[in-house]
Amino acid sequence: NAGVTQTPKFQVLKTGQSMTLQCAQDMNHEYMSWYRQDPGMGLRLIHYSVGAGITDQGEVPNGYNVSRSTTEDFPLRLLSAAPSQTSVYFCASSSIGQGVYEQYFGPGTRLTVT
Partner 1 sequence: AQSVAQPEDQVNVAEGNPLTVKCTYSVSGNPYLFWYVQYPNRGLQFLLKYITGDNLVKGSYGFEAEFNKSQTSFHLKKPSALVSDSALYFCAVRDMSDDYKLSFGAGTTVTVRA
Q: Does 26 bind partner 1 (CB under 8 A)?
A: no
CB-nearer residue toward partner 1: 13 or 23: 23
Alpha helices (runs of H) in 1-114, residue ranges in sequence order: none
User: Shortest distance, CB of residue 36 to partner 1, whole angstroms?
Assistant: 11
> Which of the stretches 21-29, 63-71, 79-87, 96-104 binds partner 1 when contact is defined by CB under 8 A?
96-104
Does residue 55 interact with partner 1 by CB under 8 A?
no
DSSP 58-77: -S--TTEEE--SSSSB--EE
- 17 or 52: whose CB is closer to partner 1? 52
Classify 97 in phi/psi space as left (phi over 0), alpha (psi -120 to 50) or beta: alpha
How far apart CA 62 and CA 78 sit, in angstroms, is 10
106 counts as binding partner 1 under rule CB under 8 A = yes
- Residue 33 burial by Cβ neighbours in a 10 Å radius (0-12, 13-18, 19+): buried
- Contacting partner 1 (CB under 8 A), which of 2, 28, 40, 97? 40
Partners of residue 1 on adjacent β-strands: none
Q: Provide the binding-site residues for partner 1, judged by CB under 8 A.
A: 4, 31, 33, 35, 40-45, 48, 50, 56, 58-59, 90, 92, 99-108
